[in-house]
Structure 1
């Protein structure tokens, strides 16, 4: 039994409490599982605690007559719409052998200013994909307000020839309201492994007080950043050339491959530009990764 499977069967945290001192802690958990049933990916597990759950699964790509099961589309719902001091969100998803799941969100996530005690929030996402499985992790963007303090951790564990494509888009402050991200601290951590072997490990602190935040060698004053990854491409170099040719040359983004992981980065000032870049890159990469055209989740159009 894997550590992930063990965590699925462990009791969900129940130590949430309505406190307003430096010990405040409001937890929410969601555990999902996907398996092949009669040739179609079904959501076979949905266990939640607190304000974190899913709508019913959708199968918009299913074409039985063509023998194409398509992906199971699931929308992750967090009714509060954002994280405040003391929030602790735990999201886990396991995609079984040969199953295919696409996970997204109905709206942007918001990271609010820390309270007077400076209590941090935490978000921990654990994604596990079994051999021959496919996972698309496509949340809408995250908006970090000035003074937000917290930690965002994403762990992806792949088995065998499992494939994964995902992104994270982060916008700092509210420039349109003349409210820049001038205080606070957010730390992002990524860990991607295949059969326990690390392929991509990254730690990124976002701290306006650090020289890196404004330095040309670091954030450079950019208010929007995005990272897209794809693992399992048959021809990584062809995919990189297709991205460069189709998306055009820009000083705001770059793409490379390392250890079988394709990484596309955006660093700029426009949230819509970053989102559009990731969406278009997904449309280019998805057929190369799984042999199916991009199918826009209906929730993105509402």
Structure 2
């Protein structure tokens, strides 16, 4: 069967006090658009999968580099749909780099998972000394308003974040098999089907801890140590999840507005 393959790469540089495109490459079903937005010195990049979603065997590869003293914010045009697989898994690799003094925000919209989907994502980031970064990955298991339920799936999410050549954050998430019974456990999500991980790397991270805890409340948890703030958020559906994520991201998004496409 024909499979979708896409490759997108973008690097930015500072020019006249603003962040500008340095190199842009796109191949297959991957597209990167730079809308005219007003985020101070930030450049907003919107990634698009023109195949309209992913399924088993599809391959997407993204790479973004924020040059010295630049401000790059990357998001998706819409929620990525991960459809039922007829065999194999869809693979999505994301490589991020932030040079000295750069600010980098990886802020995709929700990944919506359908029943019997197979999906594997790997996120790697290399941060230089003095670089700050914000990472977000929200996942929604079925659309509640459409009556969708995810009974089984194979989901894998792997993060490796380094700074100055040292590994500062690593995690591997794997959800496989009878998802409904797994999520029903209190130590997992207590039956909640929408959840997100947010990671903020900055020497200023401590200053956001108390307010982040207030915003999340009983819907997850947040901790902070060694210049790294890590939050887990859970909700019953994507709407409730966004109600928490919007102010949480706004709090730590380097004084920039939310991505324009988030409000569409």
TM-score of the pair, normalised by structure 1: 0.81
Alignment of 1:29 with 2:7, yes or no, is yes
Q: Distance in 1 between matches of 2:148 and 2:259?
A: 32
Q: Which residue of 1 aligns with 2:143?
A: 174
Q: Which residue of 1 aligns with 2:30?
A: 52
- C-alpha spacing 1:270/1:43, structure 2 compared with 1 (3 Å): same
Alignment of 1:261 with 2:228, yes or no, is yes
- What secondary structure does 1:83 align onto? coil
Q: Which residue of 2 aligns with 1:214?
A: 184
- C-alpha spacing 1:242/1:213, structure 2 compared with 1 (3 Å): closer
Q: Which residue of 1 aligns with 2:198?
A: 228
Which digits, 9 at most, give the CA deviation of each residue in 1:156-175, with x for residues without a partner? 11011100012111001233
Q: 2:64 aligns with which of 82, 93, 99?
A: 93
Unaligned runs of at least 5 residues, structure 1: 1-19, 63-69
Structure 1 position 121, deviation (Å): 0.7
Q: Distance in 2 between matches of 1:26 and 1:270?
A: 28
Structure 1 position 59, deviation (Å): 4.6
4+ runs deviating over 6 angstroms: none
Contact in 2 for aligned 1:52/1:77 (Cα 8 Å): yes
- C-alpha spacing 1:282/1:248, structure 2 compared with 1 (3 Å): closer
Structure 1 position 60, deviation (Å): 1.3
Unaligned runs of at least 5 residues, structure 2: none
Q: Distance in 1 between matches of 2:88 and 2:193?
A: 23
Structure 1 position 248, deviation (Å): 6.3
Larger radius of gyration: 1
Q: Distance in 2 between matches of 1:201 and 1:92?
A: 19
Which digits, 9 at most, give the CA deviation of each residue in 1:49-73, with x for residues without a partner? 10111123535134xxxxxxx1011
Q: Distance in 2 between matches of 1:300 and 1:218?
A: 28
Q: Which residue of 2 aligns with 1:39?
A: 17
Q: Distance in 2 between matches of 1:248 and 1:48?
A: 37
Contact in 2 for aligned 1:256/1:263 (Cα 8 Å): yes
Q: Which residue of 1 aligns with 2:119?
A: 150
Q: Distance in 2 between matches of 1:275 and 1:45?
A: 32
Q: Which residue of 2 aligns with 1:187?
A: 156
Q: Distance in 2 between matches of 1:149 and 1:27?
A: 16
Q: Which residue of 1 aligns with 2:80?
A: 109
Alignment of 1:296 with 2:258, yes or no, is yes
The alignment of Structure 1 onto Structure 2 pairs a total of residues equal to 263
Structure 1 position 32, deviation (Å): 0.6
Contact in 1 for aligned 2:31/2:47 (Cα 8 Å): yes
**Higher strand proportion:** 2
- C-alpha spacing 1:297/1:173, structure 2 compared with 1 (3 Å): closer
Q: Distance in 2 between matches of 1:217 and 1:299?
A: 34
Q: Distance in 1 between matches of 2:207 and 2:63?
A: 32
